[in-house]
Structure 1
Amino acid sequence: MVQTPTSKTVAITPFDLQLDRPLTKQKITVLQINLGKKCNLACTHCHVEAGPNRTEELTEEVCNQLIEAIRRFPQIETVDLTGGAPETNFGFKPLVEAARNAGKEVIVRSNLTIFFVPGYEDLPEYFTKHRVRVVASLPCYLAENVDKMRGSGVFNSSIRALQQLNELGYGRNSELKLDLVYNPPIPTSEDKFSLPPAQAGLEKAYKQHLSQHFGIDFDRLLTITNLPIGRTKQFLQRQNLDRPYTRFLEENFNPDTVDGLMCRNQLSVDYRGNLYDCDFNQMEEVSAVDGNGEPLTIAKLLDRGSLDAIETVQTESYCYGCTAGCGSSCGGALSVKREQGTGNREQG
């Protein structure tokens, strides 16, 4: 009897061995801050494992350190606020206002449904006042698929929120940017492993459907691959699919994506002030380190007077998720060229 290989026997090439040179850090221009794990939703694919029962959030001390960094370092062009629902965590508005007063672009990664939670109804107007760029999760333009991933009624609330933002000028005024985020369903079997479809074509389909059925306009669609971390990893492990899925990502490694990886010019900061090369490393607690291997914090960088203390990005096997197919980042696809490896089971 032929025995089917288990998840543990699937061989994965270490990511750093896939590269022809070390993955070096570049000048830091993006400060991405995860304000905490508090959220009004508990999405099945959430790599942060955020939810209504989580209490971890930014402290006043770390918030003040971040504000000092924003003011002190002109090289920071973008302050990217995420969570959890970043709006529900301590320090959200002080960070928005400090960044905008310093002339930085501010991105808020919103789940949209927070607009209808008591105490947060002012957010659309607040976003408009401070000209923040809204990046909102909408993993499909069909209600059934969204509610399956994010909870019953989330699609309808998201549509209402997008309509509110449109009324205020988002997606229609060049100064009020509104982007949506797509990610594929979490696979339930190996024949359902998939990468996001081509970003440009999917964006066209989103725009046509949302405009025709709901009168909604937006600027860009960002496609993001599901990485095997957080709740996605937990689900895949229960199905014995975690290593086969990572192997699938490896098979679709595209070297054209490496130069554009977000980890190269970004600092990711957690609610405790610890530093990481990206939000994914943050969730897996893979710390950013200096040339001597010392883990870094925002306080240490302030003491050193420099944001550029990291020489090499820390990599793990899930980095294949950012480099598979057209690539994946917090800014969407990294390459229009897709290099498909053997065994690609991509679905559109």
Structure 2
Amino acid sequence: MVETKNIQKNPVVTPFEKKLGLPLTKQEITVLQVNLGKRCNLACTHCHVEAGPKRTEELSPEVCEQLIEIIRRFPQIKTVDLTGGAPEMNYGFKPLVEAARLEGKEVIIRSNLTIYFEPGFEEIPEYCAEHRLRIVASLPCYLQDNVDKMRGAGVYDASIRAIQWLNRLGYGADPNLILDLVYNPTIPSSPEKFSLPPAQGKLEQDYKLFLQEHFGISFNGLFTITNLPIGRTKFHLEHKQILKPYLSFLEESFNSDTVERLMCRNELSIDYLGNVYDCDFNQMERLPARTAAGEVVTVAKLLEAGTLDLIEEIGTASYCYGCTAGSGSSCGGALV
């Protein structure tokens, strides 16, 4: 936690690139993360994508075919990471899954779990098990009240039933059926409540003990993710007039040991239009990836160039402090 007396209303936040001192550079690309669109059956208060039931944006058939070609052409891709919205609801979900699995890639599905109970999506758990998909599921707390406040009334109960369903299929027990859960802190409403996620290992044990004892649930790992000031979280912080203090808090918690393992180093993030970004957060803030010559990168340009390694330097912004604060934060949880 941070003390109120140390918080200024409009603190000066050091530009992230200045904090690093050196440019943040790309490594060889091994992860292809695709945001299939903004369609979702939920409208969570912390969603940086601002997804929801009224959103209609989703992947086009043309971009889907380009992505399948990238998956087939570049063996350096080890993981295809599908997100949204609810990825299961958006066009291209099954074609990309099947193309990636055919090429022997690991496929991650970032699921809200409640989608399994929507009409037309009841077969998704069995489909995931059949194709041995790794499921990374949002459960921002193991207590019902906190989850329902962040994600909507009834979401906790539906999530528990969904995890039990996955457990019956072998998830959490079969080494080929990996189920990970994701923790997010509560979005702060005042500087007194600024906090980073607790130690990932200890919180994982707390989750496992509680969920096993109360619901007979098993899962593999827990990912702790810091709330980045993007999307609905950013709107909330602006409304409370604490955006700059929150950024300052994140900067004060900067940990240089996290930089080497940042997810943007070896990942390409693709939006539903086929634009390329260094990470999902840059995608939401519309900060495109660029070549050394300053050209905006697209999926079509990658195919034309015949390489995934067009990007030398990663675009950064003040919200990057969220990934480098404390133990670090990424789509795979803590970094150190």
Task: Indicate the TM-score class for this superposition, using the shorter chain for normalisation.
Answer: over 0.9
Match of 1:322 in 2: 323
Kept in 2: contact 1:7–1:241 (CA 8 A): no
- Structure-2 separation of matches of 1:170 and 1:242: 39
Aligned residues between the structures? 332
- Structure-1 separation of matches of 2:101 and 2:188: 40
Q: Which SS does the other structure have where 1:181 is aligned?
A: strand
- Structure-1 separation of matches of 2:270 and 2:69: 14
Match of 2:12 in 1: 11
- Structure-1 separation of matches of 2:167 and 2:286: 38
Q: CA offset at residue 8 of structure 1?
A: 7.0
Match of 1:70 in 2: 71
Deviations 1:173-193 (A, max 9, x none): 101000000010000100000
Kept in 1: contact 2:10–2:245 (CA 8 A): no
Match of 2:140 in 1: 139
The aligned runs of 1:259-298 (5 Å cut-off) are 259-298=260-299
- Structure-2 separation of matches of 1:7 and 1:216: 44
Match of 1:117 in 2: 118
- Structure-2 separation of matches of 1:271 and 1:132: 21
- Structure-2 separation of matches of 1:274 and 1:268: 8
- Structure-2 separation of matches of 1:163 and 1:33: 27
Matched, 1:230 2:231: yes
Match of 2:152 in 1: 151
Matched, 1:102 2:103: yes
Deviations 1:182-222 (A, max 9, x none): 01000010000000000000000000000000000000000
- Structure-2 separation of matches of 1:176 and 1:212: 22
- Structure-2 separation of matches of 1:9 and 1:130: 50
Seen in structure 2, the aligned counterparts of structure 1 residues 297 and 215 have a Cα distance that, compared at 3 Å, is: same
Match of 2:169 in 1: 168
Q: CA offset at residue 167 of structure 1?
A: 0.3
Gaps of 5+ in 2: none
Kept in 2: contact 1:7–1:240 (CA 8 A): no
Q: Which amino acid aligns with 2:205?
A: K
Match of 1:59 in 2: 60
- Structure-2 separation of matches of 1:7 and 1:158: 39
Match of 1:39 in 2: 40
- Structure-1 separation of matches of 2:22 and 2:217: 44
Q: CA offset at residue 6 of structure 1?
A: 10
Task: Give the TM-score of the pair, scaled to structure 2.
Answer: 0.98
Match of 1:192 in 2: 193
- Structure-2 separation of matches of 1:124 and 1:218: 15
Gaps of 5+ in 1: 336-348
Kept in 1: contact 2:16–2:317 (CA 8 A): yes
Q: CA offset at residue 10 of structure 1?
A: 1.7
Match of 2:243 in 1: 242
Deviations 1:4-36 (A, max 9, x none): 999873200000011132110000000000000
- Structure-1 separation of matches of 2:84 and 2:8: 31
Match of 1:251 in 2: 252
Kept in 2: contact 1:6–1:240 (CA 8 A): no
Match of 1:85 in 2: 86
Kept in 2: contact 1:301–1:309 (CA 8 A): yes
Deviations 1:205-249 (A, max 9, x none): 000000000000000000000000000000000000111001000
RMSD: 1.2
- Structure-2 separation of matches of 1:9 and 1:201: 35
Q: CA offset at residue 329 of structure 1?
A: 0.1
Kept in 2: contact 1:39–1:88 (CA 8 A): yes
- Structure-2 separation of matches of 1:6 and 1:185: 19
% identity of equivalent residues: 68
Deviations 1:67-95 (A, max 9, x none): 00000000000000000000000010000
- Structure-2 separation of matches of 1:162 and 1:25: 36
Moved over 6 A (4+): 4-8
Kept in 1: contact 2:9–2:245 (CA 8 A): no
Matched, 1:25 2:26: yes
Q: Which SS does the other structure have where 1:56 is aligned?
A: coil
Deviations 1:37-69 (A, max 9, x none): 000000000000000000000000000000000
Q: Which SS does the other structure have where 1:9 is aligned?
A: coil
- Structure-2 separation of matches of 1:58 and 1:97: 16
Task: Give the TM-score of the pair, scaled to structure 1.
Answer: 0.94
- Structure-1 separation of matches of 2:46 and 2:320: 17
